[in-house]
Chain A
Amino acid sequence: MSNYIVEMLNIRKEFPGIVANNNVNLQLKKGEIHALLGENGAGKSTLMNVLFGLYQPEKGEIRVKGEVVKISDPNIANRLGIGMVHQHFMLVDTFTVAQNIILGSEPKKKGVFVDLKQAEKEIVELSERYGLRVDPKAKIRDISVGMQQRAEILKTLYRGAEVIILDEPTAVLTPQEIKELIGIMKSLINEGISIILITHKLKEIMEVCDRCTVIRKGEGIGTVNVSETNVDELASLMVGRDIVFTTEKTPAKPKDTILSIKNLEVKDSRQAVMVKGLNLNIQAGEIVGVAGIDGNGQSELIEAITGLRKVESGEILLHNKSITHLSTRKVTEAGVAHIPQDRHKFGLVLEYPIGENMVLQTYYQKPFSNFKVLSFKNIYQYASRLIEDYDVRTPSTRTKARALSGGNQQKAIIAREVDRSPDLLIAAQPTRGLDVGAIENIHKRLIKERDKGRAILLVSFELDEIINVSDRIAVMFDGQIVAEVKPEETNEQELGLLMAGSSKEKAGEL
C-alpha cells in the first residue's frame, strides 16, 4: 500500500504546437497541503485539469490510493474523491448556497422531488465539522466572494471529496478572508482531507504548505519540503533565476502637482456615497500608493477620475485644469492612462486580436485610422513594436487576447497604457493574479515611468506591493484618505490598523 493518496507520474500533455506538461511528477500524501508552484502559463492548471479529468495526458499515469486509474471525465474524478475549486467560481448566482451545492447530485424525496431540507441539514453538519460557517439558505449573489469560495469547497466535500484542488484561491480574497481560508484549510487537513494548492504566492506556501512541487515552462522541476526551504529558493526554482523582492529604487524627486483632488464625493450604482469628501495630490515623478480594504471607495475613486463614474461634488484637477465632468475619452486625451483592476472585464476585448487591443483608446487617431478607415497595417506594426518592447509573449499579433496567459494579458495592457506617455498613470491592482517574475517586471516598469516624470496612482490590496513600490502611502478608509505615511516609516501592522479605521496616533503606539 502506497502512502500517497494521489500520484501523478511522468505526465506529458501536449496541445497543438506546445507541450503544456512534460515529465511532471506530483505525489500527494494523505492529510498534507501540497503546493503546486509555477509562473503564469507554466502548466499548473493544465496538470490539475488532467487530474480532474478535463484533459487526457499523452503520457504518464495517475494513481489514486496506489491503484492506476484512468480519469476520462470530471465525474470519475468526483467518484475517486477528487474535487476542484476553480479560480472562477462555478456557481449559479440566483440559487442559494444549498441549491448550488447539491446541483447535479440532488437528494431525492419520493424519487422525484428535491429534498432541500435534508440537503440543508447535511450542509450545516458539514460546515460545522470543517469550520466553514456558511448559511445554506443565502443566495450566492448576496454573499461575499470569500463565502462563495466556501460554498465551492462545501460542494466538493458534499460530493465526498478526500482530495481538494484549490486553484489560486487567495487571488480574489481580502487579507482578512485569506486568514480565514488558511484556518479552513488547516481544519480540513485535521479531518483527513488532502489539499493541492495551486498558487504563485510564496508567502502562502511558507505559511500553510507541507511540501511544494514546482513546474517551470511545463517541466516538472521537483518537490521540496517547505520546512527545508525559503522564499528565495522557491522563487528561483520557479522562474529559473534569482528574484529580487524589494524593488530597488532611488528616492523620488517630485516636481509639479499633476493631479489634485478636492472634496470629492462619488456614489456607487446603488446610490450609496462611497467617496466622502476625499482630498489627494500627486506630483510628477512620484508613486502614491492607496492602501485600503476592498470596498472603501477605491474603485469609485478611480472611476471618478477616469470619467467612468459621475462625480457628485468636488473637483478633480489635472495640471490645474478641471477634468471633473469630462467623458472618459476626454480624460484619456488629457493624459490619463488607466490599468484597470479587472483586465477581463475592462482592460481587453478578449475576442479581438491582441494587436487590435493595443489601440483600444487610440484607434480613431492617426496613424491607426484615416478618415474613419482603420489602417490595419499601422495598427499591427505598432502592436508588434509594443509586444517586442514590453515582452508580451504571444504566438502572433493576430492571436485573440483570450488565448494569452493572464500575465501576458496584463503586460499587454500595461504596454498600451504606458506607451501613450500619460502624465498620470492609474494602476489598479496591477499585479493581481500574477507570478513573482511578472510582478517584478511590472514594479520595475512603474518605477521607470515614475523616473520619467509621470505621476502614478497605485491602488492595491497587497500591502507588500504598496510598501515596496510607493513613495508615499495614502490610507483610504470609508471613502476618505485617513492617513498619509512614508513607506520607510511604516509596516504592515500599522497600515493594517489604519486601513481598519484606527487613528494614526493609536496605530503608531503599537
Chain B
Amino acid sequence: MFSNRTFNLIVPIFSVLLGFLVGAIVMLAFGYSPIEGYRALWNGAFGNAYYLGETIRQSIPLMLTGLAIAFAFRSGLFNIGAEGQVFVGWLAAVWLGIVVDLPTIIHLPLAILVAGLAGALWALIPGLLKATRGVHEVVVTIMMNYIALHLSNHIIRAYLLESGSRTSRINESASLRTEGLTTLFGGSQIHWGFIIAFIAAIIMWFLLERTTYGYELRAVGYNKHAAHYAGINVKRNIIMAMMISGLFAGLAGAMEGLGTFGSMHTHASFSNLGFDGIAVALLGANTAIGSVISAFLFGALKVGSLSMPPISGVPSELVEIIIAVIIFFVASSYMIRWIVLRFKKEEK
C-alpha cells in the first residue's frame, strides 16, 4: 500500500509520462516523427545556454503564480484571480520603475515590494467579501481579473504610453536584468527573478509548514468549524490567505515588468500566467517545492515548443496538447489511484 506521500509523487510523474506518450501518439498519427519532435523540444528548452536561460525566464512568473494558487488552495480558497493580481503587480512595478530614480539597492527591492503589495491589495477585496459577507472568492476574483485587465490598459494608455502600445522602459536601477547574466546565458532574457521565486517558495513552505500562522491557515482550509471552535480567527485567516496569495501573484507581475520586458504593454486579453499557475499548482500537489518543479517543466515545454516547427516541422501547439493531457491525468488522479491499487491487488 502506498503512503499518501509516495502517491503525491507518483501521480504527477505518471501524468507527465502519459502526457508525453499521448503527444508521441498524436505526432505519429499526423505523420511526424516523435523522436524528431521531442529532440527539437529538448534542444529548444535546454540545448544551449540561450535556450536554458529562456526556459528559466519563462518559469519564473509561473513559479510565483503557481505558489500563489497553491498557497490559497492550502488555506481552502480558490484564487482564480492570480491573473488580475499579476496585472496590478506588473503595472505597479513598471510605474515605480519609471517615475522613481533611486540607487538599485533601494529602487529594485522597493519596486518588487510595491508590486507584491499591489497584488495583495487586489486580493484583499475578494478576501474581505468572502470573510465578511460569504461571497464566493471564485466569482469575485473572476470579475476582478477583467477589472485589472481593462484598468491597467486604461492607465497605460492614459498616463504611461510612450509609443504604440507600450510604456517607456523602466530605469536601469529597477531592472532585474544584468549584463553579466545575459552574456552568461547567450544573450537570453533571463533575469535574477529566479532568486525571488526561490525565496518565495521557501517562505511559503516555512510559513505553511513551520509556523503558527501556517497551522491556522491550514486548519481553516481543512475545517473552518474546528478552527473556529479552537479560537482561531477564521475571517482574519481567510483575508490573510488571499493577501499572501495575491502578493505572490503580484511578484509574478513584477518579474515580467522588471525582468522579462522592462515595461508593460496593453493587453488585448489575459496573459494566462495566472491561469497557468492553476495548472502548475495542481501538478505540484499544492506544495512549494512541487510548484517550483512543475513551473520549470511548463517553462521548458513552452520555450522548447518554439523550436519544434522550424526544426522538426511539428506545430508548437502540440505542447498545448501535452500540457492538457498532463492536467487531465493529474485531475483524474482518482482514476490513477484506482488503477495502481488494482495492479497492487493482482500482484498478490
Residues of A within 8 A of B (CB): 16, 306-308, 327-332, 338, 340, 345-352, 356, 360-361, 363-364, 369, 372-374
Contacts and interface: CB of A to CB of B under 8 A. Distances in A.
B231 A346 contact: no
Interface of B: 1, 210-215, 218-219, 222-223, 225-233
Determine chain B's interface SS by DSSP, over half rule.
Answer: helix
A327 B230 CA distance: 11
A372 B212 contact: yes
5 contacts: A328-B231, A329-B231, A340-B229, A360-B226, A372-B213
Contact of B225 (A331, A345, A361): A345
Contacts of B230: 328, 360-361
B256 to A, nearest CB: 32
Nearest to B229: A346
Contacts of A16: 1
A404 to B, nearest CB: 15
Contact of B223 (A308, A329, A350, A363): A350
B154 to A, nearest CB: 41
Contact of A347 (B214, B218, B229, B231): B229
Contacts of B229: 306, 308, 328, 338, 340, 346-347, 360
A348 B231 contact: no
Given A363-B215, A369-B212, A373-B211, A352 B222 contact: yes
Contacts of A364: 212
Q: Give the one of A338, A349, A351 with max B CB within 10 A.
A: A349
Given A338-B229, A340-B229, 14 more contacts: A306-B229, A308-B229, A328-B230, A329-B232, A347-B229, A349-B223, A349-B227, A350-B222, A350-B223, A351-B223, A352-B219, A363-B215, A372-B211, A373-B211
B226 A346 contact: yes
Nearest to A345: B225
Contact of B215 (A338, A340, A356): A356
B236 to A, nearest CB: 11
A327 B231 CA distance: 7
B212 A346 contact: no
A16 B229 CA distance: 34
A323 to B, nearest CB: 13
Given A363-B212, A372-B212, A374-B215, A332 B222 contact: no
Contacts of A348: 223, 226
B197 to A, nearest CB: 23
Contact of A374 (B1, B211, B222): B211
A338 B231 CA distance: 11
B231 A374 contact: no
Given A372-B211, A373-B211, A346 B225 contact: yes
B228 A328 contact: yes
A45 B313 CA distance: 60
